[in-house]
Amino acid sequence: MMKILITGGCGFIGSNFIRYLLRQHPDWHIVNLDKLTYAGNLKNLEDVARDPRYKFIRGDIADRELVDRVFAQEKPDAVVNFAVESHVDHLRHPRGAAHDFRYALDCRKIKEELGWAPKVRFEDGLRRTVEWYLENQDWVEGVITGEYREYYRKVYGTG
């Protein structure tokens, strides 16, 4: 049995990675350590929350005591870090909108050194992402209104 510690697993990429691991590796266990900032949302993982192979811990990777305790108790075989905020996340465009910037990825190195190739064409992935948001309006509304933050306060206390 492999145990993986995922940090920042409640964000968009991390939650999809967790689902992927649970689907592809039925004998693996996942521990998800997430601070639940604006980018993390427990609703992203509602479908796996009751899976006995999945465990959620609310916390900050900058809290050394917590991280030491998690390592001591969980004894992960590997760590995958998605707990990242870019400086762009906090920039504001003159119109007041956040994230009004373009992101670019250069996949040449991973293709050349690891032989990686995408399984889904960019256009198809973009279409499927938009469809997901359109089909999950309750989730979108909870993010827009901030309703999910109240849920966190009730379940996990302030913070």
Helix pair angle (137-145, 147-156), 10° resolution:
80
Same domain, 85 and 125: no
Whether 43 contacts 78, CB under 8 Å: no
Rounded CA-CA distance 40/74 in Å is 22
Same domain, 90 and 125: no
Whether 32 contacts 57, CB under 8 Å: yes
Tally of domains within the chain:
2
Q: What is the CATH number of the domain that holds 79?
A: 3.40.50.720
Please report the pLDDT score of residue 37 as a whole number.
82
pLDDT in tens, 120-155: 988 898 899 889 888 988 877 877 787 777 777 776
pLDDT in tens, 33-51: 999 887 788 888 999 999 9
Whether 42 contacts 107, CB under 8 Å: no
User: Closest Cα partner for 91 from 102, 80, 107, 79?
Assistant: 102
pTM: 0.61
Domain that holds residue 31: 1-103
